[in-house]
C-alpha cells in the first residue's frame, strides 16, 4: 500500500496549476455539438440524479444536447480513466463523487489516470451522509450502537459502495474515533447496500440524505444521526454523529465537475460560469432532494478537493486501510 504523502497544500497547488491550463486556441463558440458528461457510477444514484438536472439545464443554455453516460465499475476508476484519456476540448466532462478525485489515488498503486491532473471546473453540490441502520438493530442511538459494538466486537456489519468509497471510509472513521471494530461489506453501488439494510442482511450504511430520508420516513430503516458537523436543515430533529458521542466525526458527500487534463482555461471558465448559473436556476429542485449548491470559481473547487484529499488521507492512514 502506498500511504498518502501529499499534503493538502501540495494537492491544492497541483489542482490550481491544472485549472490554469492553456488559454490560447479555445473555441469561442463552444459548444457547437453534443457534450458528453461521464458518470463513473451506476444509474439511480444521487450522482445520477444531480448530473441529469445539471445536464438538462446546460443543454438549454447552450442549445446543444448534453448527454449523460454512466460508466460504472472498477471502484469508479473505469469511468475516470475514460475521461482522463478523452480529448481536452470540453466535449467530454465528468461529474463524480469524492472517490475518483480524492480517495482512489491513496489506495490504488496502479491507477491508469492521475486524479490530480483533472482540471477542476466547478463544485456542484454537497449533502450530509447519514448513519442508517436496520429497523431491528438493538440500538436507539449512536451511543447505544457503540456500546453494542464494544460488547460484540466484530459482529456489526456496515455496507459501502466498494472499497475506498466515502461510505467505507466513513465506517472506518467511526471505528477509529469510537474505538470499535466492525465488518466491512462492500457492494457495487449504494442501492444494493441500502436494500440489504432494509432486508436486515447488514446492520448499517452511511448513505446520503437524498435517498435515506424518504426510506426513513417510510419506515423502511432508521437514521441514528447525520454525519455533517452541524445538524442538517432538512432534518433538524436528527442529531449529528459528533454530538452523539464521537467528537470530530465528519462525513459529507459532494459532487464535482471536472475536465480532462489540458482542457483550455477559456473553455473551463465558460463551463464554470454556465454551471454556476445552472445551479442558481436549479436551487428549488436541489433543495427538494436535500442537496446544497456549491457555486464558486475553479480555484474554489481546487481548494475544496485538496482539503477533502487531506481529510480522507488521514482516515486511511489512521485506520490502516489497504486493498484486499
Domain with CATH 3.40.190.150 in the chain: 8-127+254-319
For residue 324, the model assigns a pLDDT of 61
Angle at 265 between CA 166 and CA 15, to 5 degrees: 35
Nearest Cα to 121, choosing from 7, 274, 14?
274
Mean pLDDT of 34-57: 93
Per-residue confidence (pLDDT) for residue 15, from 0 to 100? 52
pLDDT value at residue 22 = 47
Higher pLDDT, 43 or 176: 176
The lowest-confidence range among 36-45, 49-58, 199-208 is 36-45
Percent pLDDT > 90 in the chain is: 75
Angle in degrees, CA 178, 179, 181, rounded to 5: 110
Interhelix angle for 209-217 vs 190-198, to 10°? Answer: 20
DSSP code for 239: P
Q: What pLDDT does residue 7 have?
A: 45
What is the pLDDT at residue 24? Answer: 41
Per DSSP, the residues of 231-273 read: --TTSTTSPBTGGGT-TT---EEEEEEEE-TT--HHHHHHHHH
Q: Supply the pLDDT for residue 19.
A: 46
Q: What is the pLDDT of residues 68-124, one digit of tens each?
A: 999 988 888 999 999 999 999 999 999 999 989 999 999 888 899 999 999 999 999
Rounded CA gap, 132 and 209, in Å? Answer: 10
Q: What is the mean pLDDT of residues 48-66?
A: 97
Residue 255 has what pLDDT?
97
Helices then strands, counting H and E runs in the chain, come out as: 11, 10
Q: What is the mean pLDDT of residues 165-174?
A: 92
Q: Residue 131: its pLDDT value, please?
A: 98
What's the pTM?
Answer: 0.80
Superfamily of domain 128-244: Periplasmic binding protein-like II (3.40.190.10)
Report residue 89: phi and psi, to 5°.
-120, 5
H/E run at residue 259: strand 252-259
Instruction: Quick: pLDDT tens for 143-152.
Output: 999 999 999 9
pLDDT bin (cut points 50, 70, 90) of residue 190 is confident
Q: What is the pLDDT of residues 275-299, one digit of tens each?
A: 999 999 999 999 998 899 999 999 9
pLDDT at 169: 92
Per-residue pLDDT reduced to its tens digit, 220-276: 999 999 999 999 988 999 999 999 999 999 999 899 999 999 999 999 999 999 999
Q: Which residue has the higher pLDDT, 62 or 323?
A: 62
Give the pLDDT band (50/70/90) at residue 180: very high
At 189, the pLDDT band (50, 70, 90 cuts) reads confident
> Which is it for the CA torsion 266, 77, 287, 44, positive or negative?
positive
Domain with CATH 3.40.190.10 in the chain: 128-244
**How far apart are the C-alpha atoms of 34 and 64, rounded to whole Å?**
6
pLDDT for res 133: 98
The CATH classification number of 8-127+254-319 equals 3.40.190.150
Summarised one tens digit per residue, pLDDT across range 4-45 is 444 444 454 455 445 444 444 444 689 999 999 999 988 888
Separation of alpha carbons 185 and 157, rounded Å: 7
pLDDT of 211: 87
Amino acid at each position: 500500500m502506498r500511504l498518502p504523502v501529499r499534503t493538502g497544500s501540495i494537492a491544492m497547488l497541483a489542482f490550481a496549476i491544472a485549472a490554469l491550463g492553456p488559454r490560447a486556441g479555445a473555441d469561442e463558440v463552444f459548444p457547437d455539438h453534443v457534450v458528453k458528461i461521464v458518470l463513473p457510477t451506476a444509474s439511480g444514484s444521487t450522482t445520477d440524479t444531480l448530473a441529469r438536472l445539471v445536464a438538462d439545464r446546460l443543454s438549454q443554455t447552450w442549445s446543444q444536447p448534453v448527454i449523460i453516460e454512466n460508466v460504472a465499475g472498477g471502484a469508479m476508476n473505469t469511468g475516470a480513466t475514460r475521461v482522463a484519456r478523452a480529448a481536452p476540448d470540453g466535449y467530454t466532462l465528468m461529474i463524480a463523487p469524492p472517490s475518483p478525485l480524492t480517495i482512489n489515488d491513496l489506495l490504488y498503486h496502479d491507477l491508469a489516470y492521475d486524479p490530480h491532473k483533472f482540471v477542476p471546473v466547478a463544485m456542484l453540490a454537497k449533502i450530509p451522509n447519514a448513519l442508517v441502520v436496520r429497523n431491528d438493530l438493538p440500538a436507539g442511538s449512536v451511543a447505544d450502537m457503540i456500546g453494542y459494538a464494544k460488547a460484540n466486537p466484530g459482529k456489526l456489519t456496515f455496507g459501502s459502495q466498494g472499497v475506498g468509497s466515502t461510505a467505507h471510509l466513513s465506517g472506518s472513521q467511526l471505528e477509529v474515533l469510537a474505538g470499535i471494530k466492525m465488518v466491512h461489506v462492500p457492494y457495487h453501488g449504494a442501492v444494493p447496500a441500502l436494500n440489504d439494510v432494509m432486508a436486515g442482511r447488514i446492520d448499517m450504511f452511511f448513505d446520503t440524505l437524498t435517498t435515506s430520508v424518504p426510506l426513513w420516513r417510510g419506515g423502511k430503516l432508521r437514521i441514528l444521526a447525520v454525519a455533517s458537523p452541524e445538524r442538517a436543515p432538512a432534518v433538524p430533529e436528527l442529531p449529528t454523529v459528533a454530538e452523539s458521542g464521537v467528537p470530530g466525526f465528519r462525513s459529507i458527500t459532494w459532487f464535482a465537475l471536472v475536465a480532462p487534463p489540458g482542457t483550455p482555461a477559456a473553455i473551463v471558465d465558460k463551463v464554470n460560469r454556465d454551471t454556476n448559473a445552472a445551479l442558481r436556476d436549479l436551487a428549488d429542485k436541489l433543495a427538494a432532494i436535500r442537496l446544497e449548491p456549491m457555486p464558486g470559481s475553479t480555484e474554489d473547487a481546487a481548494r475544496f478537493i485538496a482539503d477533502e484529499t487531506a481529510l480522507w488521507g488521514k482516515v486511511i492512514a489512521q485506520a490502516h486501510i489497504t486493498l484486499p
